[in-house]
Structure 1
């Protein structure tokens, strides 16, 4: 067969296998389709399919096909990360800045600390630290991976639970948005290359100028032209971020974070996100699964994933309890928010991919992080759904906004989720 024919066989498997498992297995209650697609990527990887049927695996996922799939995956994840940047709700976080800052700080800081302690323990054993990673990069990178909240998946889960447009849903979006900014900021620090410091400084300076100009241009253009400019801006940011020694995903996020959500119709933005998830992101999940590795032994990797899952969930829940105590929340409120914010899949996987690309972590560490991300997301719906039935007052509770004085104008932050109220 030609490479083209095998490529389409691979695409057929990528899109068919997870969907049939998800639909026929009635897994919709536990997770959205994207989570099953991530699991499908792991099952189709070298550790499972490659081990059980090496001839079939090497035939379908040969070098040429993988190169083609990787190109699709890079573009798909770049689009997705850019859209995640656009959809961040910073204006509402500013209006409720005291409550948002305290909650987001505990929600991020506590699991980060727990994750760093776990990473320090991992360093006592060989096989976890990447070939080009320094211990501080590994510790901070794995710690932040334990603190990540997957904002796009969180939106899907809250839509399923019918709380996205309730006050509790809007509050959680604020907390997750602030944490997302911190996550990408820390990732930039982890990737800082002192040998390329001049390039990185030039990129950031050029980005600041270009971001100002692109904002002016998009605001001036008619709505029908804005998407075209957006997808010209995206590869430029991704290229120069990668050129500077950061990573193209950091550039993709920066491409989106300076764009105001209200420049685009909410319906169009939702459709674009859903289409990217449906059309190209399954290829990214497959390419992610192809990078899993069990050379340390399945038991060791599973044990590592269990440790990471424990510290990430426990850290998030303890952090939210501390925030609830400081802000005098109602009983059960902190647990509900904590379980929703511990959702990891997708953004954590993107984060781990960056660490792996830069050889800060090994394939085995990546596999453990991937399993942790999937497990944390699969836990969310079964745990949260019974809570919602008991906490009706919390769902509709609105946190009183902090007063903004006339002499203190609001920053020109992105007006996110405009139609969500």
Structure 2
């Protein structure tokens, strides 16, 4: 087969296998299609299919095919995250800046603290700390892996729960977006890349200045021209953020945050969101899994994965409950927000892959983090859905009684 035929065969696997498992297995409640796509990306990668059927894996997922898939995935996730940024109302962010900063800080700081505690336990045993890691790098890297929130997956889950555009969904989006920026900044510190820290400051200053010019330009353009200029802005922000070490997804989110939804029309935005989700995001979910290399590392890795999952979920819930007490949230809100914010998805896997490549963690630690990310994401809908129903019923009863 030529490269085009092999690429189309790979695309067939990407779209057919997860859909059949999701539809025939009726997994939607505990594992929505996006979660199945994430898991199948890992299964189709070198760690599972590559070990079980190495010849078939190397035949289908050639370097040229993987490069093509990565290009589609990169553009798809940039569009998706930009649209998530447009959904976020900046005026509300500024209006509730104190609440947002408090909640984001606690929802990042508590699981980071819990994760560092779990990493301290691992220091006592060989095989978990990477060969090039200083102790503080391992502690902070593992702790931050427990603090990550997967913004693209979070948006998908909130859309599925029908709360993305509701006040709670917008609040959660504010908290997660602040944490997302902080996470990539901390990663630069872990890598000891002080040049990139300077670049990050420069990028954020340049972004603030250019945003004012960009917004003035957009209000003067026709709606059809705005779409084209928005894509140029998206590429420029993604490039600048990645060059600065903040990751291209942070740039894509910032590009969307400073846009107004009424520039484009809500119906057109909704249609683009659905099309990107249908056509391009499956490639992102699976292509990231295809880059995942891991070894099982024995039964101990499952135990460590469970400890890290406990630290991640417990830390997020603790942070959300402390924020809820401080800010006077309604009963049940802290639990819902904490569970949604603990969603890991592929962002944590990307984060852990970087730590593995830099020698800060071992393949065993990476596997434990991978298991934690999958478990964390699969728990979200089954736990949040009934809690959300109870909270909505309480609101209806309260409205009726008043």
**TM bin (shorter chain):** 0.7 to 0.9
Is the Cα contact below 8 Å between 1:85 and 1:255 reproduced in 2?
yes
Is the Cα contact below 8 Å between 2:296 and 2:364 reproduced in 1?
yes
Deviation (angstroms), 1:143: 2.4
Distance in 2 between residues matched to 1:179 and 1:345, nearest whole Å: 15
Is the Cα contact below 8 Å between 1:353 and 1:366 reproduced in 2?
yes
- 1:23 equivalent in structure 2: 23
Aligned pairs (5 A) from 1:133-212: 135-164=135-164, 166-187=166-187, 189-190=189-190, 193-195=193-195, 203-212=203-212
**1:92-126, CA deviations, whole angstroms, 9 ceiling, x for partnerless residues?**
23323444443333222211211233334445556
Deviation (angstroms), 1:229: 1.3
Is the Cα contact below 8 Å between 1:192 and 1:246 reproduced in 2?
no
Distance in 2 between residues matched to 1:120 and 1:220, nearest whole Å: 56
Q: Paired residues, what number?
A: 398
- 1:96 equivalent in structure 2: 96
Is the Cα contact below 8 Å between 2:181 and 2:250 reproduced in 1?
no
Deviation (angstroms), 1:40: 0.6
Aligned pairs (5 A) from 1:196-345: 203-295=203-295, 297-345=297-345
TM-score for the superposition, normalised by structure 2 = 0.84
- 2:369 equivalent in structure 1: 369
Is the Cα contact below 8 Å between 2:344 and 2:377 reproduced in 1?
yes
In structure 2, the CA distance between the partners of 1:290 and 1:93, relative to structure 1 (3 Å rule), is same
Q: Return 5+ residue gaps in structure 2 as ranges.
A: none
**Larger fraction in helix:** 2
> After the TM superposition, which of the residue ranges 118-127 and 339-348 deviates more from structure 2?
118-127
TM-score for the superposition, normalised by structure 1 = 0.81
In structure 2, the CA distance between the partners of 1:245 and 1:335, relative to structure 1 (3 Å rule), is closer
* Helix, strand or coil at the partner of 1:29: coil
Distance in 2 between residues matched to 1:161 and 1:309, nearest whole Å: 23
* Helix, strand or coil at the partner of 1:39: helix
Q: Return 5+ residue gaps in structure 1 as ranges.
A: 399-421
- 2:78 equivalent in structure 1: 78
Is the Cα contact below 8 Å between 1:196 and 1:244 reproduced in 2?
yes
Is the Cα contact below 8 Å between 1:127 and 1:364 reproduced in 2?
yes
In structure 2, the CA distance between the partners of 1:273 and 1:144, relative to structure 1 (3 Å rule), is farther
Distance in 1 between residues matched to 2:26 and 2:298, nearest whole Å: 28
In structure 2, the CA distance between the partners of 1:214 and 1:298, relative to structure 1 (3 Å rule), is farther
Distance in 1 between residues matched to 2:239 and 2:368, nearest whole Å: 29
Is the Cα contact below 8 Å between 1:42 and 1:289 reproduced in 2?
yes
- 1:414 equivalent in structure 2: none
How well do the aligned residues superpose, as a CA RMSD in angstroms? 3.2
Distance in 2 between residues matched to 1:396 and 1:145, nearest whole Å: 38
Is the Cα contact below 8 Å between 2:164 and 2:170 reproduced in 1?
yes
Deviation (angstroms), 1:198: 6.2
Deviation (angstroms), 1:42: 0.8
Is the Cα contact below 8 Å between 2:87 and 2:165 reproduced in 1?
no
- 1:419 equivalent in structure 2: none
**1:52-85, CA deviations, whole angstroms, 9 ceiling, x for partnerless residues?**
1111111111222222222222222333333333
Distance in 1 between residues matched to 2:304 and 2:133, nearest whole Å: 19
Is the Cα contact below 8 Å between 2:111 and 2:313 reproduced in 1?
yes
* Helix, strand or coil at the partner of 2:214: helix
Deviation (angstroms), 1:12: 0.5
**1:315-363, CA deviations, whole angstroms, 9 ceiling, x for partnerless residues?**
1112222223323445434223322222222443454455566665555
